[in-house]
Structure 1
Amino acid sequence: MYILVAADHHHQAHPRILVRMKSPIIFIFSLLLSSCYAAVQDFCVADFTAPESPTGYACKKPATVTVDDFVFSGLGIAGNTSNLIKAAVTPAFAAQFPALNGLGISLVRLDLALDGVVPFHTHPGGSEVLIVEKGTICAGFVSSANTVYFQTLEKGDIMVFPQGLLHFQFNSGRILAEAYASFSSASPGLQILDYALFGNDLPTELVAATTFLDTAQIKKLKGILGGTG
């Protein structure tokens, strides 16, 4: 491949110079493009036969992936709210929806019966965006500076809960409430404060020393939430 290069204006006697390019630019660009394309991995559908690691599940072999891996129908059915907190959370995390593995997104459905509540809890692995589909939900979170942000949400309202901060949802209306939440992680994790304090075998005396609650109340809550000690 040849290109014409004009002579320097200080040397006008010289004719134009033919310069041969060693490698055509278009050819090099096409090589780079094809190399980048070959390196792209479109998805990493979870392989549940392999153990989960802190970075997620191993990938299924592409030949074994089907369209069913990319479809999840579990959020179309209301959860069972016949429990202590009168609430049901139906997850669509990587563990239930294998195509989400490695994508940094997930969803849940939240059903709250009358007076239903999702107690103070955190998601260590991701931030949450909640949208109310039905009913009225009082929701809020506490910042690391112990500032409280809460609001009563109606149908169509959206609220965000930053990653790792304690937050709650409570049905403050007169009908069943329904909401959906998305997360910035395929496996955001969940730790409910009440169960962390009273649903384990930490000795009552230690719980009392760290929470300033009296031992009788702690033992009562341990009895309700399944704790011992």
Structure 2
Amino acid sequence: MTLKLAIWDMDGTIVDSREVIQTAMCRAFGMCDLPEPDYEATRKVVGLGLEEAVRTLAPDYHDVPGLTEAYRQAFVARRAEETFREPLYDGAMETLERLANDNWLIAMATGKSHRGIRAIFEMHPLEQYFDTIWCADDGPGKPHPFMVEQCMGVLGCEPHQSLIIGDAIHDITMGRNAGIHTMGVSWGFGETHELEAAGAHEVHHDYASLNTGLDRFAEEILGRHGTEPAA
């Protein structure tokens, strides 16, 4: 059987986490007596490791570990509120199920912690679809290729058999750094022109289009008969 691997980002790609991330970031900055970042600033750091993200938003702040911990506390508190929602994007579950049924290998490469991923799995029955999961806890974060390389290594896939799906430029850059195909999605934190500028091989605007792209990639792998693609 020809191997084919889809590596997924989580926030902004599978789950709509825009509100909770922005709310938690604003509360964390308030707890540290810092001006609240606007959404335009926050969205550009989503996908990075948390400490790197807050350092980017507050480069002159003297206590980045303290601000990082304030964000963690604010995030957990927001999740506990009755009004909290972190929905799946329309088509996400169906696409994961279809890939599993079509014998794709499915991995996750995310800036979230393992604790954060566990919280997502408690809300949505997604864990069953993932063959391996790599998080910010495990090693170098995006855009370093570490997580992609680990996904491929664990599952025995080569770069030409693998792709990444993500909504942020950090996902695209990580995929490009690992030498794999990159699929940007425009419904999360990144904008189309940013994903294209980062080098996305393709950008999709809904799950129907993404599924078409996934099918095309699978057909191309079969057409290669397992040989390496031309440079």
TM-score (structure 1 length as normaliser): 0.23
- Which structure features the higher share of helix residues? 2
Q: Structure 2-normalised TM-score? A: 0.23
Query: Using CA pairs below 8 Å that are at least 6 residues apart, which structure has the higher relative contact order?
Result: 2
- Which has the higher Rg, Structure 1 or Structure 2? 1
Which has the larger strand fraction?
Answer: 1
